[in-house]
Structure formats: structure tokens, C-alpha cells
Amino acid sequence: MAANILDIRKNFPVLNQQVNDEQLVYLDNAATAQRPTAVTDSLVHFYQTDNANVHRGVHTLAERATEDYENARVKVQHFINAAESAEVIFTKGTTDGLNLVASTYGEQVIQAGDEIVISIMEHHSNLIPWQQLAIKKHATLKYIGLTADGELDMADAADKITDKTKIVAIAHASNVLGTLNPLADLAKLAHQHGAIIVGDGAQAVPHHPVDVQALDVDFYAFSGHKMMGPTGIGALYGKRALLEQMPPYQFGGEMIDFVHQQDSTWAQLPYKFEAGTQNIAGAVGLGSAVDYLSDIGMANVAAHEQAIVDYLLPKLVADPDLAVYGPHDPAKHTGVIAFNVKGIHPHDIATALDMEGVAVRAGHHCAQPLMTYLGLVATARASFYLYNTKQDADRLLVALAETKEFFNHGAVKAE
């Protein structure tokens, strides 16, 4: 992949611009990825040639739109290796998918005194639905802690997951610590106690090969916009047996079989969970993103990002003015790197880096319990993707050095 990285970058016109008179280095991929022309072209093509509602018409455009929509579902199925396309439900994104599970399966099974287990590193999207479900049902919400180097503490997981546990919900990869969690081991542990496991794949599916059958997860949610697809589209995988026993998430058109005056029956999977007119173009764009990533190969994407981490992380860790969170071993760290600079607020870091054309994130990253656990208010975060290069990493290092010099010089001058 290193040989054709320049060709890959040509597919992303947004990268070819200057910000504050500097060439843009986009390192906010954990928040949202950029889109290749193949994805944006697919959206234009759909709207200009095939635009119609799906599953409802017999005219040519309706049939083409339906075929486009269902082909996208099959592409997602193969991308994550679901057993069948009916196990793939289109959603608005990871948050929507996790709320669907909490509001349907969770409402069904959780009773007073039951336990729901998550980790302290969870994004709010995989925390608040379970927190609120626990409050409503008078259940107990338990948190798995971390090891000293920021990995999930599997010994603590073994203690926290008990025969009272009904749901385990864990991020496959952290959006702050850069850890890739052993989801298959957690699934085995959950199943030993009769619990189901829900995987938050928002930070994993765009960057690593994912096989939901090998992981043996019961549900798995992810977003299109983090894997170069459109915003407002994502997918929820669920095992057929569980999806069939769950009630609908929303009611209305498309999700019904037959409507009587006093009751109704529901459509078969996956349509039972896709009420109303869906984001059809978004699904088409997501399918195009899947094609793009599949052509490159997810193993190649992961290897490319790992090479950048291998290069950059030791340099950041070695800087005495930086605190780097998560594992310091590059082999255990994804392309999401959260850090702070001594004496400089994370928002000031991000603003200063932006003046050098380097886009990073600053804040609590929708992980406030984790920040509290670490004794922090916020961090800066650089996150890499397949179109980033070692030169981008060097630009970050230079911009950080200039930022430290600016603030240190200002402090000396103020004295």
C-alpha cells in the first residue's frame, strides 16, 4: 500500500487544500473520515439516475433503487462476514444501532437486580443507553477497569461478569486510548454466564478486518461516516435468533406485514427494524465505501496505519513534555493517539496546531467517565487513516514543537 499511497490520496480532493496558508494534514479521522470520489460519485449517480423509494414500486426507477439498496446490504454483510444479509439492519449510525438494542432486546430481558457490564473506556453512545436502561429497570450497571497501561483489565472483566449479567457492551476499539479490545474473549466470557455481548465497532470496522461470526458477538454496531461513507447511515448486525424475538424499534410504513384497525403484524427481517423511508442514498454510498475499502484490503489498511503508529508513537512517548494515554507499546496501539502537553490546555493545542494546518480533536471525546477515571478534563487527539502518511506524522511533530516554543516563549515574555 505504501507504493500507491499518493494515488490513494488523489481520490480525496479535500486533502488537497491549504488551511491557514499551510497544506492541510487531516488527523481527526476518529471523529469522521474523508470521502473518496468513488463515494461522492455514487451519491450523485444515484440521485441523477436511480432516485426512487424502495420496496414499494414496480416502475423501473423503484426497482433499480431497491436493487441498489439491497446490494449495499449484501456488501455490508460480506464486509463483516454476517451469516446472511437479513442480519444487517441499516441505521443512522452506531448510536442509533446501540439504542435500538437497548430499547428492544434490553427492554425485554433486563429485570430488577440484573447486571449490565460495560467498560470505563466506553464512548457515551455505548454508555448512556445502558445507564438509562439500568436506571429504568432497577438493574446494576458495572464497569470493567483498565490496566496500568490503558488496556482493558481482563481479570476485572472475569470478576465483573457474573451469572447475574444479562448484557455485556464493549467498544471493539477505544476512541481515546487506542486500544483494540479482545472482543472474542469477552464474548466467550459473557456466553459462559448466559449473557449476550454487544460490540461497538465504530472505531474498529474502518481500520481492521472484522468477522462478526469469528468474534461470536450477538450484536455489533458501526457508522458509515467513520469508514468514508456518508453521514446519517450505519449498520447494526444481530444474530437472526435474537432479532426475530425482538419487538420493532419504531412503527410506521415499511416495517409492517398487515395492518388491521386494532392490531398489526410485522415484516420479516430486516425490514421490521427499518420503519419509514430510509437513507437510501446513504446506504448506496456506504456500499461504495465498502467497495473502496475492500479493493484496498482491510489487512493492508491496518498494516499501513500500524506502520505510522510504529513510527510516531515512540517519538511522542519520548517527549518529556507530553503525556500519552493508552498503551505505549506500538504493537498494542491503534492509530488513535490521545495526549496532553505540559502546561498547555488541549483546546489551545488544537487551535495552535490548526494554525499550522494540522487538524486534531480536543475535548473529552464523548468519554467523560474515562476522563474522570484518568484524572483529566480533556486531551488532544490525533487519529490516522489510510490516506495519512509518515510525512503527516512529521508535520504533527513539527507543529507540536512550534506550539511548545510559542507558549513557552510567551510565558517567558510575560514574566
Q: What pLDDT score was predicted for residue 414?
A: 38
- Residue 260 grid coordinates: 388491521
- Regarding the domain delimited by 40-295, which CATH topology (the fold level of the hierarchy) does it fall under? Aspartate Aminotransferase; domain 2 (3.40.640)
Q: What pLDDT score was predicted for residue 3?
A: 55
Q: Measured in Å, how far apart are the chain's first and last C-alpha atoms?
A: 50
- Regarding the domain delimited by 2-31+297-408, which CATH topology (the fold level of the hierarchy) does it fall under? Aspartate Aminotransferase, domain 1 (3.90.1150)
The CA distance from 173 to 185, in Å, is 14
3-class SS at 7? helix
User: Has residue 2 got a pLDDT over 60?
Assistant: no
Amino acid letter, residue 282 = G
Report domain extents, the chain: 2-31+297-408, 40-295
Confirm if 100 and 89 have CB atoms less than 8 A apart: yes
Mean pLDDT over 157-185 rounds to: 98
| Helix and strand element counts for the chain (H, E) | 15, 17
Which residues does 227 contact at the CB level (< 8 Å), separation at least 6?
A: 33, 205, 206, 286, 289, 290, 293
Mean pLDDT over 19-35 rounds to: 97
Closest to 357 in 3D by CA, of 397, 399, 391:
399
What is the Cβ-side half-sphere exposure of residue 319, based on CA atoms within 13 angstroms?
A: 17
Q: What pLDDT score was predicted for residue 310?
A: 98
In the numeric block, the cell 448510536 is attached to 95
User: Has residue 415 got a pLDDT over 80?
Assistant: no
Closest to 33 in 3D by CA, of 224, 235, 295:
224
Q: What pLDDT score was predicted for residue 94?
A: 98
> Left (φ > 0), alpha (ψ -120 to 50) or beta: where does 358 sit?
beta
The CA distance from 309 to 383, in Å, is 10
Amino acid letter, residue 32 = T
Mean pLDDT over 326-341 rounds to: 97
Task: Determine if the peptide bond prior to 36 is cis (ω within 30°).
Answer: no
Parallel, antiparallel or unpaired: strands 358-359 and 25-26? parallel
Mean pLDDT over 220-247 rounds to: 98
3-class SS at 386? coil
User: Has residue 213 got a pLDDT over 80?
Assistant: yes
Q: What pLDDT score was predicted for residue 193?
A: 98
**In this predicted structure, which of 2-6, 188-192, 237-241, 244-248 has the lowest mean pLDDT?**
2-6
Q: What pLDDT score was predicted for residue 84?
A: 98
Mean pLDDT across the chain: 96
> pLDDT of 303-320, one tens digit each?
999 999 999 999 999 999
Give 284's pLDDT tier (boundaries 50, 70, 90): very high
Q: What pLDDT score was predicted for residue 56?
A: 83
Confirm if 175 and 202 have CB atoms less than 8 A apart: yes
Mean pLDDT over 113-126 rounds to: 98
Share of the chain above pLDDT 90, in %: 96
How far, in whole angstroms, is CA 351 from its chain's centroid?
25
Residues taking part in catalysis: 366
User: Has residue 413 got a pLDDT over 50?
Assistant: no
User: Has residue 185 got a pLDDT over 60?
Assistant: yes
- Residue 259 grid coordinates: 395492518
Prediction pTM value: 0.96
Mean pLDDT over 389-402 rounds to: 97
Give 408's pLDDT tier (boundaries 50, 70, 90): confident
> pLDDT of 336-371, one tens digit each?
999 999 999 999 999 999 999 999 999 999 999 999
User: Has residue 106 got a pLDDT over 90?
Assistant: yes
